[in-house]
Structure 1
Amino acid sequence: MALVIGGIAAYIAFRQYEVARAKLNLDLFERRYAIFLNVSGFASHVLTSDAPQWNGDAWLKFVNGFDQTEFLFGKELADYCGEMHKAGYKLKTYYNRAMSNRGVMRPEDVEDDYELRIWFSEQAQHGVRARFGEYLNFERWK
Structure 2
Amino acid sequence: MDQIRFFFSALAAIVVGIPFAIATRAVHPAGEELAEEAMRHGRVVSATLVKSAFLPPDMSSQYSQQRQVRWLCQYRYSIAGKDYTYRCTLGQQGPDQIELCYPAGKPDKAMLSNSMKRKRGGAYVMRALAPVIVWVIVYWTLPLVGIGSW
Which TM class, normalised by the smaller chain length? 0.3 to 0.5
Q: Name the structure with the higher strand share.
A: 2
Bigger radius of gyration: 2
* Superposition TM-score, scaled by structure 1 size: 0.32
Q: Which has the higher helix share?
A: 1
